[in-house]
Amino acid sequence: MKKLHPVMFAGTGSDVGKSIIAAAFCRIFRQDGYHPAPFKAQNMALNSYATPEGLEIGRAQAVQAEAAGVPCHTDMNPLLLKPSSDHTSQVVLNGRPIGNRDAYDYFRVEGREELRREVCSAYDRLATRYNPIVLEGAGSISEINLRDTDLVNLPMALHAGADVILVGDIDRGGVFASVYGSLMLLRPHERERIKGILINKFRGDIRLFEPGIKMLEDLCGIPVVGVVPYYRDIYIEEEDSLALATKSVQAEQGKVNIAVILLRHLSNFTDFNVLERDPRVHLFYTNNTDEIAKADIILLPGSKSTLADLHELRRNGVAQAVIRAHREGATVMGICGGYQLMGQEVCDPDHVEGEIERLPGLGLLPVSTHMTGEKVTRQVRFQLAIDSTSSAANCQLSTVNSQLTGYEIHMGTTIPTHDAPVSPLNLLEDGRTDGYYVNRTCMGTYIHGILDNPAFIDFLLEPFADKLADAGTAFDYQQFKEEQYDKLADHVRRHINLPLIYQILTTHD
């Protein structure tokens, strides 16, 4: 195939849709016979993923790699910032945490060149293996106060020699000012890298905007390569959890009602995407105590700050509501930080997370968690460790245990209390065990992605079989995701000038 220039999708601001547009082009280039790969030098997100090598990257780049049909790698996101408060973040470099940094210290000029060398080296390695590289910018390309410390936008485009497509969000209004203003704030050599403008999230009759396209091109001297309409029927994993609280909480008849507890520091919320699509399930996100009481199953999700979230759950009454719901028959399951919350105590004597040294947990599992500075990141294969002679036998454990997969990203170790029997939920392929199982209504695990396994969902829902007579059957989530990437690519193709984009990516400067 012809060698294409790298292409960067940069934005006039945050949340203009850069990640989704980049994913669409990863799939488009793959469909057209190229071998693309995503790249974002620096990502700030709590939603992360473990690579096959057991290292950590932003979930958005894992999604883009999936759209491109290639394994994810830390070179695709060499620098990940995981916020732990309004002012501090854990810094993950090349897949491994290197400590917590205050925002002011992180964005100082001093020490930035070392990070710049790391992200540029990661890009250079990636560029030798894939064609083209689809780069994603961060926030706005015109944050002139951060110009000297920027690692991810135009300095990276200049290093890569990338053609930049500027993405503007017309849905929020002011798209002319945001596009033109973004360009005018760039220095001349930076402005030369901008080769096209893409208007995203358009609503209404596109013919009404056609005069605006000509005005924008005349004003900026740069072609508009497409106007992509807003969509509602394509489901791509989201990068952040801002929209979770808006999802319906009204219990539904004939379905298993599942509540995911909205933690303040909730992470890896994509653990629940498959349940949102399962026709047997009505999933909602809440920290309202009355709504928790409506749930058949309560899921405690991952947390970036387990002790802070545990303190908040006790303060706002959610902890007591979960305990009460379990006592009245609801199933409670914790994943990662949620598993830690369910235990007898969470201890942090070395102040890994903060100033709180110990808090009592919800007391639903006979386990104790000790926070440690070492982070565990790995992909895993496993099967349920539950004795097939137990009450779980009528869930066809042989089917459940055919082969389950997931990944771990956590700090801390969790062990049974001194008087508790050993009762793991899962047996890993290498012989290690994971989690704790009390009974069909009470369990915890460190494995993210456990709910991506249809057989495990069948296991979780089986006690509610009487509610599922007319609710339909499970579906293939992997196939569903592939279909969504294709739908996204088709949607974007219809509304962009792809021949012009290929011309841009093959024309010598």
What is the amino acid identity at position 161? G
What SS3 state is found at 335? strand
3-state helix, strand, coil in the chain (%, to 5): 35, 30, 35
Q: Let me know if 448 is a catalytic residue.
A: yes
DSSP 8-state code for residue 238: -
Token couple for 274: 């498959």
Max distance between CA atoms of the chain, in angstroms, equals 76
How many CA atoms, within 13 angstroms, populate the side-chain half-sphere of residue 336?
A: 29
Query: Is-contact 489 28, C-beta < 8 A?
Result: yes
Which one of the listed residues 73, 282, 410, 448 is annotated catalytic? 448
Which one of the listed residues 72, 220, 336, 395 is annotated catalytic? 336
Extract the runs of DSSP E, i.e. beta strands, from 245-316. 256-261, 266-267, 281-286, 297-300, 302-303
Sign of the Cα torsion 238, 241, 247, 252 reads positive
Query: Is-contact 23 490, C-beta < 8 A?
Result: no
Sequence length of the chain is 509
* Residue 368, H or E segment: strand 367-384
Q: Report, in angstroms and rounded to the nearest whole number, the Rg of the chain calculated over CA atoms.
A: 24
CA distance 363 to 367: 8
Which of 254, 237, 260, 277 lies closest to 474, judged by CA? 277
Q: Let me know if 72 is a catalytic residue.
A: no
Q: What is the CB neighbour count within 10 angstroms for residue 26?
A: 28
User: Residue holding tokens 């219990």?
Assistant: 251
Token couple for 387: 């004795």
Active-site positions read 336, 448
